[in-house]
Structures are given as structure tokens and as C-alpha cells.
Amino acid sequence: MSNKAFYLTKLEEMEAREAPMPVMGPDDVIIRIQSVGVCGSDLHYYSKGAIGNFIVKFPFILGHEAAGIVTETGKNVKTLKPGDRVCMEPGIPCMKCEECLTGHYNLCKDVKFWATPPYDGVLCEYVSHPAAFTFKIPDNMSFTEGALVEPLAIGLHACNTGGVKLGQTVAIVGAGCIGLVTLLAARAYGATQIIVGDVLDKRLDKARELGAIPVNTRETDLAQKVMELTGGRGADVCIDCAGFTPTVDSCLSAARPAGMVVIVGMGEDRVNGFNTSIMSTKELTVKSIFRYRNLYPTAINAIADGRIDVGSIVSHRFTFGDTINAFATCTKDIRNVVKGVIEY
């Protein structure tokens, strides 16, 4: 049996090769991949070769947002069977450290996360994965929706961390994939006014389509617009899905007194000029998140029930055989690509 894969061989260059067939342990399942989302981190590794201390060693397989069909199960697996449609949480924590044992497995220092060096991703035909981090999806969910459970879990975690509630005003900086799924999560949690800032019109058009008030931050100061829309009060929760010095500052300025700021994006390793004066005089609470934990079932149920239309953020669809073009397009046509997905 062959296992075709697409390897990143050097910066912005990929080629199709045969990958080894995955090895299945007693608690694992083999999955035939059906859909893979093209994530911003994939594109960063594709064009830059590193994110912080995570440095690609070529050749390397990208892709971590995925769904597929179970083809084999390990001898200890009781919850899944061949033919089950599934999506997979891409990180495998050690489940032995303090972080794991206290429920914060997303902070595990020894996590093996797909497409985060040195661990290959899933842009191939078959993968092995622990059954414990493999989740059934219902027949009314597409495989692409299953793949997008991963970014949606980040949006849900951001809104949970920010305590988004019914009737609140939420400001989101960044209308890429993560900003848009955070928008969808905020709507699902009951936010009634959502203001989204970005510099790309295509993304702002999508934010408007999803029910937000778009603000082109190249032309308009987001904090001023938030104050205008809230009668000078500010947003209850501000969520930064970009992670740059100006975007963090914008969130601090846009938040209401005693409000909440959640930092999600990691555009810069260090944020300079952090406005502690605004944070102090407004008595703001500033939190951060890293990925997600225990949210796949929630995300799957929300999509299956129709409460969250995660497929609505997809702007570009590619075939598995067109993977090389998919990465080139998503990298070079950033003004028009909102979310790219590779469908097998």
C-alpha cells in the first residue's frame, strides 16, 4: 500500500514523495486523510522555515488541521472502528507531567504536535494517531468541517478565556482564519455586537458577511471606532488574533474599564511599548491562550447542530494532487485567500 505525501524540501518548494506507512500501536488507529486545512503556521514554516525556536529540518511534511476515515484500529481500541468518520486533535501530550495531570495538557512540554518540528504533519494519505485524540464526526458534517474543528477550538478557547457572554460587545483584531473562527465562537456564546479590525478588504468582507462590524485599521483607528459604537464605554472583551505591538495596544485602548483582553496571535516574539498605564487605570485583565484543551467535542457538536457554520470561512479549495499550488497560492495571494483547504 502506498502513502503519497507532500514534503517541504526547501523554502517555498515542495515535492510529492512516498512516505513510510504509519505504524499503529495498541491504542492507536490508522486514518485515511480526507481533508487538510492550510494553516497560517504551515505557511510560516513554508516561507520562513521556523517559528521561534521550532526550526524545520528538510524534508518536512506540513499540515495539522485534518479529518478522515478510520481504516484500522489497535487491539485496545474500543471507541472507534474501521469506517468511522473522524477528526483528530493534532497534539499528543505525555499525560504524565504536572501540566497534563492538572488538566492543562495543551501546555505539555513534551507534546508531539503535527507539523511542529521535529514532528511531521499530515499532508499524506495515511496517518496513525491515538484513539484518545481521535473524535467521531457525524454524517451531516463534511470532512472539511471536520478539519476546521482544530482552528475553531482555538476560537472557542479564546472566548472561554475572555468570558464572552450574552449581550456583550466583543472587539477582535485580525480577520484571518483564527479571527474569523473567534468571531463565530463569540456569536455562538451570545455576543450581540462584534467589531473586527484588519487591513485586508477580503477578510473584512467575510467578517461583515458573518455578522460583524468591519473596520479597516489601515484607515480607521479601531479603538476610536469601538468607542464611537459603544457610546464611549468600550468593548467588554477584546481579543487580539494578530499579536503585534500596535494590535495589543489597540485592544488595551478599546477595552472598557474593568474589561478583558485576550492575546491569541503570536505575530511578534516580543511586544514592545506595552501600555501599562492604560491597563492599570482601566484595571484591565489581560490573559493569553495557547492552542486549546478539551474542546473538540464542543466544537463538533456546535458545527453538527448548525450553531457554527465553520465552512463559511473557506475561500479556496484545492485537491490533494494540487497541494504544491495550494501553498503557493495561499502564500502569494494573501489579499484574496481567507482560508484554503486541501480536499482529497
Cβ 196 vs Cβ 226: under 8 Å: no
The mean per-residue pLDDT over the stretch 128-141 comes to: 98
Question: The domain at 4-148+314-343 falls in which architecture?
Answer: Alpha-Beta Complex (3.90)
> What kind and span of H or E run contains 222?
helix 222-229
- Tens of pLDDT along 210-227? 999 999 999 999 999 999
Cβ 260 vs Cβ 239: under 8 Å: no
Dist CA 193 CA 196 (whole Å): 10
User: Where does 154-288 sit in CATH, by number?
Assistant: 3.40.50.720
What's residue 116's pLDDT?
Answer: 97
What's residue 8's pLDDT?
Answer: 98
Q: Among 304, 311, 312, which Cα is nearest to 211's?
A: 312
What's residue 255's pLDDT?
Answer: 98
291 by DSSP, 3-state: which? coil
> Is the pTM higher than 0.85?
yes
Per domain, the residue ranges of the chain are: 4-148+314-343, 154-288
Q: Bridge partners of 310?
A: none
Dist CA 70 CA 32 (whole Å): 6
